[in-house]
Amino acid sequence: MMGKFEAQIPGDRLYARNHMWFQADGDAFRVGFTSYSVRLLQDVYFLDWAIDQQSAVQEKGEIGEIESSKALSTLYSPCAGQIVAFNETLLDDPSKINTDNYGEGWLFRMQTEANMLTPDDYLKLLDEGWDETQRLIKGQLN
């Protein structure tokens, strides 16, 4: 829950602490934003990646940038691994992030050995993290 709003967290995939979902797809995972992220971002206008495909990434390494109606943020890798491909169609039109964030709005494919959160763990993280998120947002209003 974020305040009184329920976040839709599908049970058929795993999650990372930085609000991305992981779904097994061949030899890699498909990765995208959870509804929680999308809810905070709102309309996405622009997405750009700061690294090339096939790059090895560290956890919390910078991988890109996103601009939306509500926010401007750097994007960071959810875990260590290798990003094998980006969803190229989002570069021209990122609107699928809003309309289909668990499907065609996927962000990239990634190979990783990292441990992920189960849907239940992620929901718990959201519950615990909501106060922190509000502090983060409100802290920037002053």
Partner 1 sequence: MAAKKLTVVISQGQGNNPAKRQLEEDILTELVLEPKIDVSVVPHLYDMSKDHTGLLFLRSVVGDIIFLSWLYPRGAHWILDRQGVKGHEGETLLKSESDEELEDDIPSLDEDEKQYPNAIGTPEVPNRKIYSLDLRDHSGPQVYVAEILRIADEQSVETVSLGGFDLGSPAAPPTNGQTENGNIGHEPIADQPADANRLAIKEATKRRWYPVIDYSRCTNCMECIDFCLFGVYGVDGLDRILVEEQDSCKKGCPACSRVCPENAIIFPGHKTPAVAGAPGEVAGMKIDLSKLFGAPSAIELAAQERDVELEADGRETVGMSVGIPKRQSGHQSEEKDEMDTLMDSLDSLDF
Residues at the interface with partner 1 (CB under 8 A): 2-5, 17-19, 37, 39-42, 45-52, 58-62, 65, 67, 70-78, 91, 93-95, 130-138, 140-141
d(CA 112, CA 100): 24
CA distances to 2, 13, 22 from 25, rounded to whole Å, are: 29, 11, 9
Nearer to partner 1, 24 or 137 (CB): 137
Q: Which is nearer to partner 1, 27 or 115 (CB)?
A: 115
CB of 83 to partner 1, least distance (A): 12
Contacts of 4 (CB under 8 A, 6+ apart): none
Q: How far is the CB of 7 from partner 1 (least distance, A)?
A: 10
Which is nearer to partner 1, 27 or 132 (by Cβ)? 132
Owner of token pair 């993290």: 129
- The residue type at 118: T
